[in-house]
A and B are shown apart, each in its own frame.
Chain A
Amino acid sequence: MSAGTPPLSGPPKPQAKALNCPKCGAAIVLRSFGQAETVVCASCHSILDAKDPNLAILQQFEAATNVSKPLIPLGTRGKLRGTDYEVIGFQRRSTRVDGITYYWHEYVLFNPYKGIRYLSEYNGHWNDISICKTLPTADGGEANYLGETYKHFQSAEANTDFVLGEFPWQVRVGEKAAVTDYVHPPRVLSSEKLDKEVTWSIGEYMYGREIWDSFKLPGDPPEAMGVYENQPSPLTTNIRQIWIAFAAFAICLLIVMAGFDMLAKKESVFNQTYTYDRREAKGELSFVTDVFDLAGRTSSVEIKTYSPVSNHWIYLNYALINQDTGQAWDFGREVSYYSGYDSDGSWSEGKQNDSVVIPSVPPGHYYLRVEPEVDPSLPLIPYTIEVRRDVPVFGIYGIAFLALLLPVVVLSWRSYTFERSRWSESDHPPMDFSNISTSSGDDE
């Protein structure tokens, strides 16, 4: 509770003025200590002049078909953002767009020390509204209030359909006002033009649960439907900052990649050319290479195979075997290259060389067991085997890059779709992407 603002708890204060409706005789209770301009009889719905000691009838309206029950009953008291308020008025308003009528509700709240403020509700979305203290400036698509820029959201004609309770202005059913909304989530700046009078108000989005807790209302608030014009994005992160963080990580990744590439030994520890000769290939085809030493720490080993095949293939069954421990890495590699001409022109596929990287090979003495299989139409084919120690694997950086990118893309997409839903209800549908800001607010 703010300093110097006594609570409004307990039964209605005796200051509330009790009068009777001049139309139907029902009791009229004035709760706003003389701040109301009009009061509506809850029984016959006559709009009465609250400033007149005799409550002169200003308007009568047929409410039978337009009765709207307030979600927060008149007279309900609660603590809204630290200040006690009592609900003294309620109105239902509507606007018609493209043949569809949209309804929303407004509640008048009163505190004898703080004065009047309002709550609005549309499809489960709530706003805490107060009259602007200074005059905003509006220029076409934007408005400025207290140094904050608001984007034009929509302009419409608001019709007053139903009223109940007290109002600090001369309310009338059927009254039409030109309403223009500018948004800067979670705030909305609204101008309401009635005749020649323009009233500016500032609203801040509230969740139904906050309203229910503030007024200690029974049950659950109505579920919010869709995305409201000033509803804050559930993504509390500033997307731009995340993209900057991603760029920084990507640069770090490049530095790590360059560093490891420079430090990698890429040492050739074995290089030998063999020839497969079908005429001599009788019996067992497999053979083993000389022993070579893989020094240093546990790291990668690359086996490179080259064979000048053309429209043929050669397949090599490999086993890299640790002579001391019997540990082996078993794999097969094919080298094939095909090319030719057809109606589409020249074509080729495959390569004459192949490379495979064996992961995390401990240091030790190793040899290769090689078992060649060759295209039966090839009588003779040479092939070269090279073994290199400690080679960089750039695919790891590719995966890391994608891993860094993925959450940023997902977050950006979610933010984009949320803003798209918001602006789809505006006068500026989402095809105009300049309306959609990916920066959805400050982090926490």
Chain B
Amino acid sequence: MFRKFYLLYGLLTLGTAAFGQYRGWSLDTINQLKNVPKSVRDNPGSYRSVYSGYHHYTGGK
């Protein structure tokens, strides 16, 4: 029983990996937005990234 399950599971895993690669899946977390105004191209300052103001690491060892 488990052998059949594992064969199906393995095929599904392989298929998912191949499909993900084909569709360009990524492990990085990216914030996706819709309907960004076209005015950004002419006035980049009209858009503010959600990541601005990030507290930067300034140390080293």
Interface residues of A in 228-266 (CB under 8 A from B): 235-238, 241-242, 245-246, 249, 252-253, 256, 260
> Contacting A256 at CB < 8 Å: which of B3, B21, B27, B60?
B21
Q: Which residues of A lie under 8 Å from residue B37 when comparing CB positions? A: 326
Q: How far is the CA of A356 from the CA of B35 in the complex (A)?
A: 23
Instruction: Check A327 against B36 for contact (C-beta < 8 Å).
Output: yes
- Interface residue? A274 (CB, 8 A): no
| Chain B residues near A299 (CB-CB < 8 A) | 22-24
* Docked CA distance A247–B28 (Å): 28
| A286→B60 CA distance, assembly (Å) | 28
Report the Cα distance A356→B30, complex, angstroms.
Answer: 9
Interface string of A329-357 (1 = CB under 8 A from B): 11110101011101000010100000011
Nearest residue (CB) in B for A375 is B58
Is A315 on the interface with B (CB-CB < 8 A)? Answer: yes
Asked if B54 and A340 sit within 8 Å, CB to CB, the answer is no
Q: Is A403 an interface residue (CB 8 A)?
A: yes
Nearest residue, chain A, Cβ from B41? A288
Shortest Cβ distance from B43 into A: residue: A284
B29 to chain A minimum Cβ distance, whole angstroms, is 8
Contacts of B1-29 to chain A: CB distance below 8 A:
1-3, 6-7, 9-10, 13-14, 16-18, 20-29
Q: Is the CB–CB distance between B61 and A236 below 8 Å?
A: no
Task: Judge whether A315 and B22 touch: CB under 8 Å.
Answer: no
- Docked CA distance A298–B6 (Å): 31
Instruction: With a 10 A CB-CB cut-off, give which of A311, A404, A408, A411 has the most chain B CB atoms.
Output: A404
Which residues of B lie under 8 Å from residue A288 when comparing CB positions?
Answer: 40-41, 44
Instruction: Enumerate chain A residues within 8 angstroms of B54, measured Cβ to Cβ.
Output: 315, 317, 332, 334, 373
Evaluate whether A287 and B6 lie within 8 angstroms (CB atoms) in the complex, with A256-B18, A328-B32 already known: no
- B: interface residue count bin: 35 or more
Q: How far is the CB of B2 from chain A (nearest CB, A)?
A: 4
In angstroms, Cα B59 to Cα A390, docked, is 36
Closest chain A CB from B57 CB (angstroms):
6
B40→A369 contact, CB < 8 A: yes
A393 and B57 contact, CB distance less than 8 A: no
Residue of A nearest to B49 (CB): A317
Which of A36-44, A124-132, A359-367, A420-428 lies on the face that meets chain B?
A359-367
Q: Which residues of B sit under 8 angstroms from A386, Cβ to Cβ?
A: none
When distances are taken between beta carbons in the complex, the residues of chain A under 8 Å from B18 are 256, 260
In the complex, A331→B29 CA distance in Å? 8
Binds B, one of A47-55, A89-97, A136-144, A394-402: A394-402
Query: In the assembled complex, which residues on chain A have CB atoms less than 8 Å from the CB atom of B38?
Result: 323, 326
B13, A403: Cβ atoms closer than 8 Å: yes
B28 touches A321 (CB 8 A): no
Instruction: Give the docked Cα–Cα distance between A347 and B30 (Å).
Output: 31
Do A369 and B44 touch (CB < 8 A)?
Answer: yes
Not counting A321-B41, A323-B41, a sample of 15 additional A-B residue pairs whose C-beta atoms are within 8 angstroms of each other reads: A245-B3, A245-B10, A253-B17, A260-B18, A260-B22, A300-B24, A300-B26, A326-B35, A328-B33, A332-B52, A360-B24, A361-B24, A367-B41, A371-B44, A404-B10
List 7 tightest A-B contacts by C-beta distance, closest first.
Answer: A332-B51, A338-B60, A300-B24, A299-B24, A359-B26, A317-B49, A400-B17
- Identify the B interface with A (CB < 8 A): 1-3, 6-7, 9-10, 13-14, 16-18, 20-38, 40-41, 44-45, 47, 49-52, 54, 56-61
